[in-house]
Amino acid sequence: MTLLKIIEIAKQNMDQLTQKLKSGEMNISEVPFPTVGKGKILVRNFYSVISSGTEGKTVSDARKGYIAKAKSRQKEVRQVIEMVKTNGLISTYKMVMNKLEADSPLGYSSAGEVIAVGEGVSEFKVGDYVACGGNTANHADVISVPVNLAVKVPKDVSLKQASLTTIAAIAIQGIRQADLKLGENCVIIGMGLIGQLTYKILEASGVKPLGIDISEAQIQQARKAGMENVFNRNANGIVNKIMLHTRGNGCDSIIITAGTSSLDPVEFAGEIARHKAKIVVVGAVPTGFSRANYYKKELDLRMSSSYGPGRNDSDYEEKGLDYPIGYVRWTENRNMQSFIDLLASKRIDITPLITHTFPLIDAPKAYDLILSNEEEFTGIVIEYDQSKELKKSVQLNNKSFKPSNANVSFIGAGSFAQGTLLPNLEGHCDFSGIVTGSGTTAKSVGEKYGFKYCAENSREIFEDENTNTIFITTRHNTHAEYVIKALKANKNVFVEKPLGMNEEELLEIKKAAEESKNTHLMVGYNRRFAPAVKEIKDLFEPEQPKSILIRVNAGNLPKDHWVNDSDIGGGRIIGEACHFVDLAMYLSGGKIISVSADSMKDPNNLNNTVVINLEMDNGSIASINYFSNGNKSLSKEYIEVFSGGIVAKIDDFKELTIYADNQKRKKYRNQDKGHKSEIDAFLKAIKQGEKTPISFEESYLSSLATCKITESLLHRRKIMI
């Protein structure tokens, strides 16, 4: 059970800085507290830092027109084109607009006080001062941060300076990659905030730094902050100055912290480096350099990955699994801690690097300052009002509810919920509460669809008397817990697949369903409701034996995608192939009595290319070919049903062909996988007291059969159910 030792603070809004990616419009939005999951802490920010490089580009891109956006985000444009091929133009357009119109948080480096701890957290307690980093360390009154992205700050260390810890960790990781030793020298190319932090840290460590920049104003700013050896790249005799600084040997290391599309930083680094020197790229610069210097001097070009080892590793950042210090001495967390240690030792004072401080309410002005570039700046800090008391939930409206209607609350509201479920629910039910891992998402979606309030946690949803129906669209590992709690609260439940991750969870759900009174529990097996599937269902008698072939061109997912994580997503068989197990059983008209499966050898042991065979109690058989090694140019889903001299074929839910005495072909105007009909049927059952469109017995059986598939793959044999 999650322990939330929340300081009871209420009355005023919890605010967060957000922007809309579509227009670049920035707002200080009232949002609910973020949730505190396992291995996380809730932190009330005192200060946060704006990254003029990373965040400045994000804001600049958002304020551009569509054509300019496309030019600056070519990778995303290619992804959209691929989505159109797979999902169609209308569906892709809706998904893109949802992304662009949503409120997007900013920020990744802050410092404040712990006000709550989640399950499994032992290294922090309420009242600790901490410096935080990562995608959740946003510009907000309160943030939720994984333990490996937070470090303690001694009470005598300035939290204002500590708020730069994450950005300083980027500088420190660059220094680690440079592998510098006492007495060596290092040139830093690019004297923005990271460059100046690099200079200060090197100087405190006994290394002789020298800074280079093309901006004379930036050079003067650095000198005012106490950095003497900083020079203009374009000054006459700059190479000679560097050689003088290095006693004619050239640089031991060069750290490039500049951000530019020019090749000059890498070319210049090659020119001033000594033989066998190390050149470390920290900033965003191209690396298509000339061969001569790098070849003749045997230079070592290295890339530095953000805050250090652990960055973008979900096991490290989300699950809190640390790397053993004997094998990885400096992780991103230990890099952060080393900066705090420097501050605590008084060997470094970065007060001169903080040139501007804005209260949160004026934060948009800080970005205007960055983009206009009319005033010199280095570190820009946002300060939070510690005197105000905060609300943990947000009331959006005061509408009332009719008990006879479907009064819906949402737990989770990711891209599928926003792009598919909510648009099909809108206008057909009343929306009550919404809770998501991010308060920003909850507020944005809540306002768009007219929810009554944004909840701080799921408990509020379960206890809400107005709510009679809960949609669960969170990550797979939380489905069973939320389904059971919702049933115990006597709520109707719609849960996206899978119903549960394993047989133990399914048994617990079954027990809760049997004890629940007059409630509906339905899994989002939408393909049953597709028009093409309905026509095939009507074509054959239920007891008529059928042979069924389903081919799914699922496409590849990266190994580190959360669906492939056995603890979070359960893998693609549990998380995705369950759809087709249920569809095969539905088309057969029988019940699954045995499963067997074989997987293609895979270097990552993911079992994502699988042949599944099912046997039904009415004599039907089905083969599901779930392949992740195909090509996107082929349609995604292909279904054939053979019985009594008739064959029915569905091609990607766009076309149905029936081969009989008179061949029939039907093309659908749009790809329809049954989502709207599924929602309509579920709401109708609630409003009119009809049977659940998919009985719990069927949902349980198809879910159980999916679990048995993984057992069959493990033991390499047929499994009876």
Percent of the chain with pLDDT over 90: 81
Mean pLDDT of the chain: 92
Structure letter (DSSP) for residue 476 = G
To the question of pTM greater than 0.75 for the whole model, the response is: yes
By CB neighbour count within 10 A (0-12 exposed, 13-18 middle, 19+ buried), where does 622 fall? buried
CA nearest neighbour of 544 among 583, 584, 582, 589: 589
Is the pLDDT assigned to residue 7 strictly greater than 70?
A: no
Please report which confidence band the pLDDT of residue 86 belongs to, taking 50, 70 and 90 as the band edges.
low
Q: Which pLDDT does position 72 carry in this prediction?
A: 63
Is the pLDDT assigned to residue 710 strictly greater than 70?
A: yes
Is the pLDDT assigned to residue 1 strictly greater than 60?
A: no
Q: pLDDT: is 53 or 333 the higher one?
A: 333
User: What is the secondary structure of 585-607 as a DSSP string?
Assistant: HHHHTS-EEEEEEEE---TT---
Beta strand pairing status for 655-659 and 664-667?
antiparallel
Coil, strand or helix: which one is 134? coil
The secondary element (H helix, E strand) that includes residue 354 is: strand 354-359
Which of the residue ranges 230-239, 391-400, 574-583 would you say has the lowest mean pLDDT? 391-400
Q: How far apart are CA 558 and CA 312, in angstroms?
A: 13
Q: How far apart are CA 526 and CA 529, in angstroms?
A: 6
Segment 484-516, tens digit of pLDDT:
999 999 999 999 999 999 999 999 999 999 999
Segment 12-65, tens digit of pLDDT:
678 999 998 778 888 898 999 998 989 999 999 999 999 988 887 777 777 777
CA nearest neighbour of 140 among 36, 242, 43: 43
Q: Which pLDDT does position 9 carry in this prediction?
A: 39
Segment 126-147, tens digit of pLDDT:
999 999 999 999 999 999 999 9
Q: Which pLDDT does position 614 carry in this prediction?
A: 98
Helix 216-224 with 193-204: angle, nearest 10 deg: 40
Segment 184-222, tens digit of pLDDT:
999 999 999 999 999 999 999 999 999 999 999 999 999
The secondary element (H helix, E strand) that includes residue 175 is: helix 165-178
CA nearest neighbour of 50 among 360, 282, 260, 340: 360
Burial 165-190 (b: 16+ CB within 10 A, else e): bbbbbbbbbbbbbbebeeebbbbbbb
* CB 317, CB 148: distance < 8 Å: yes
Q: What is the mean pLDDT of residues 314-328?
A: 94
Segment 219-237, tens digit of pLDDT:
999 999 999 999 999 999 9
Please report which confidence band the pLDDT of residue 77 belongs to, taking 50, 70 and 90 as the band edges.
low
Q: How far apart are CA 5 and CA 113, in angstroms?
A: 13
Is the pLDDT assigned to residue 433 strictly greater than 70?
A: yes
Q: Which pLDDT does position 60 carry in this prediction?
A: 77
Which of the residue ranges 155-169, 174-188, 389-403, 672-686 would you say has the lowest mean pLDDT? 389-403
Tokens of 660: 């009989």
Q: How far apart are CA 602 and CA 231, in angstroms?
A: 54
Q: What is the mean pLDDT of residues 355-374?
A: 92
Q: Which pLDDT does position 71 carry in this prediction?
A: 63
Region at 534 (left for phi over 0; alpha for psi -120 to 50; beta for the rest): alpha
Q: How far apart are CA 399 and CA 432, in angstroms?
A: 9
Is the pLDDT assigned to residue 79 strictly greater than 80?
A: no
Q: How far apart are CA 420 and CA 414, in angstroms?
A: 10
Q: How far apart are CA 507 and CA 378, in angstroms?
A: 58
245: which strand partners?
none
Q: pLDDT: is 505 or 375 the higher one?
A: 505
Is the pLDDT assigned to residue 712 strictly greater than 80?
A: yes
Q: How far apart are CA 167 and CA 354, in angstroms?
A: 13
Is the pLDDT assigned to residue 69 strictly greater than 70?
A: no
Q: Which pLDDT does position 2 carry in this prediction?
A: 42
